[in-house]
Amino acid sequence: LAKTTQPISMDSYEGQEVNITCSHNNIATNDYITWYQQFPSQGPRFIIQGYKTKVTNEVASLFIPADRKSSTLSLPRVSLSDTAVYYCLVGLGVSGGYNKLIFGAGTRLAVHP
């Protein structure tokens, strides 16, 4: 599975847009990019997944440039409840072809009033 690099922490304020960038220089042709969110004392929660260009759902957008060596998770107008750890995972489909997910340290996002 491709190694990912993302910032350890980020700070933002309520109402702002937050962009978290993940680098995955060794992404393979069949790899998808997946983001999970984790609140304290809860399990990781799937946010969004994409392969190329842009994907948008009710929670976030995912921007993937043509070379796919990085991706950016965009959270519009964050609120205090978006304070969490965000994980970028790269693998064969969202589940790595039904195999294990490998989590890095993630990005700890703190949203301030």
Partner 1 sequence: EPEVTQTPSHQVTQMGQEVILRCVPISNHLYFYWYRQILGQKVEFLVSFYNNEISEKSEIFDDQFSVERPDGSNFTLKIRSTKLEDSAMYFCASLQGDGNQPQHFGDGTRLSIL
Identified binder of partner 1 from the candidate list 10, 55, 59, 101, rule CB under 8 A: 101
Does residue 105 bind partner 1 (CB under 8 A)? Answer: yes
Q: Which residues pair with 5 in a beta bridge?
A: 23
- Report the nearest approach of partner 1 to the CB of residue 16 (Å): 27
Q: How many CB atoms lie within 10 A of CB 69?
A: 13
C-alpha dihedral (5, 35, 99, 66), degrees to nearest 10: -70
- Rounded CA-CA distance 12/81 in Å is 12
Burial class (CB in 10 A: 0-12, 13-18, 19+), 7: middle
CB nearer to partner 1: give 12 or 38: 38
Closer residue to partner 1, CB minimum distance, 3 or 14:
3
Nearest to partner 1 of 97, 113 (CB atom)? 97
104 near partner 1, judged by CB under 8 A: yes
Which residues contact partner 1 (rule: CB under 8 A)? Answer: 32, 34, 38, 41-46, 49, 87, 93-95, 98-106
